[in-house]
Amino acid sequence: MAKRLARRMPTDTPIDALAEALARDGYVIVERLAVDGIRHLREELAPHIAAAPFGHTEFLGARTKRVGSVFRRAPATQALAIHPTIMALADRVLLPHCARYQLNFSGIMHLEPGAGAQALHRDGVLYPFLHPCPATVMPAMWAVTDFTTENGATLVVPESHLWEHDREPEPDEIAAAAMPAGSALVYTGGMLHGGGANVSNTVRTGLALQYSLGWLRQEENQYLANPPEVARGYPERLQRLIGYDYGGPYLGFVNGGDPNRVLVEGPAGPADRTTPELDAAAARVAWLRLGDIEPVPTPARRHTTVAMKQRTPGE
């Protein structure tokens, strides 16, 4: 179990200070950001968690349950996905490298007593960039229950978003993201992290909502998880975030126009494959130079071994 506790910041901390901590440490925990919304969410989630299977791989966890397609199953998640504080942080982390960011993944991560610690990993390794590199992903983990060192609070490795790809953390570099229900742990896709071991008698439930650069393939297929007849009932901001929107100029149009048109009645809009606003947003995005023309020959490790070694209750 990690001996260090991750640093937490009060909910009224200015966005600049939250963004600074996120850039420096690779994560920031905002305490009690949406306590009422989370209370309601717990009720909506209960039947879905009860019906969910346990994981069938070591990474997914033999005592861990996961629930996907959360916007349709638990509507209280919709407001959390577009929470202004999370959006303001995503603006800082992702917008330097894309004209629009998107919702990449939504899911419940529910640890029952006896769950072992997960291998530490970077969410950004979905995409074949060696670290350190600009953030491709910005995940937010909402504490649906209290997260404690005993019940499996997410383990984080501060500053590991700046490390070389293969550097392994020492045990004393790992901290537990303990936080009260309603808090949010926001981190960059380059920071090493993983679910902790649940050595308590209580469950630990987290809602993971992850955002990514608008020009990348989404991890969870949002169009199948939220088909048009379902997405039509969501707030427009969420519709656009999950992909009923351009991903940038010339990215994701339908019949040459704004994909959000498939969700609203009325005449089709212009079919220009972009908009002046989108062109302006794209104009301030920095070009990235991919340094390696030849691929790096040795496949980079995807998970570190430290948490696995420390870990399973009863071992």
Ligand X SMILES: O=C(O)CCC(=O)C(=O)O
Q: Which residues are at the interface with ligand X (CB under 6 A)?
A: 109, 118, 141, 154, 193-195, 206
**What's the min distance (Å) between Cβ of 213 and ligand X?**
18
DSSP letters of 256-302?
A: TB-GGGGGS-SS-----SS-HHHHHHHHTSPPPP---SSPPSSPPPS
Q: Judging by beta carbons within 10 Å of its beta carbon (0-12, 13-18, 19+), is residue 84 exposed, middle or buried? A: exposed
Amino acid present at 248: G
Give Cα separations from 24 to 21, 185, 190 (angstroms). 5, 15, 12
**What's the min distance (Å) between Cβ of 279 and ligand X?**
35
Q: Which CB sits closer to ligand X, 119 or 282? A: 119
Q: Which CB sits closer to ligand X, 158 or 206? A: 206
| φ, ψ (nearest 5 deg) of residue 206 | -125, 150
In the numeric block, the tokens 């901001």 are attached to: 237
**What's the min distance (Å) between Cβ of 194 and ligand X?**
5
Q: Which CB sits closer to ligand X, 116 or 206? A: 206
**What's the min distance (Å) between Cβ of 173 and ligand X?**
17
DSSP letters of 203-218?
A: -EEEEEEEEEETTS--
CA 190 to chain centre: 12
Q: Which residue is nearest to ligand X (CB)?
A: 195
Q: Which CB sits closer to ligand X, 143 or 251? A: 143
**What's the min distance (Å) between Cβ of 26 and ligand X?**
14
**What's the min distance (Å) between Cβ of 151 and ligand X?**
11
Q: Which CB sits closer to ligand X, 118 or 222? A: 118
State the Cα–Cα distance between residues 8 and 30, nearest whole angstrom: 6
H or E stretch at 36: helix 35-51
Q: Which CB sits closer to ligand X, 78 or 154? A: 154
State the Cα–Cα distance between residues 232 and 32, nearest whole angstrom: 30
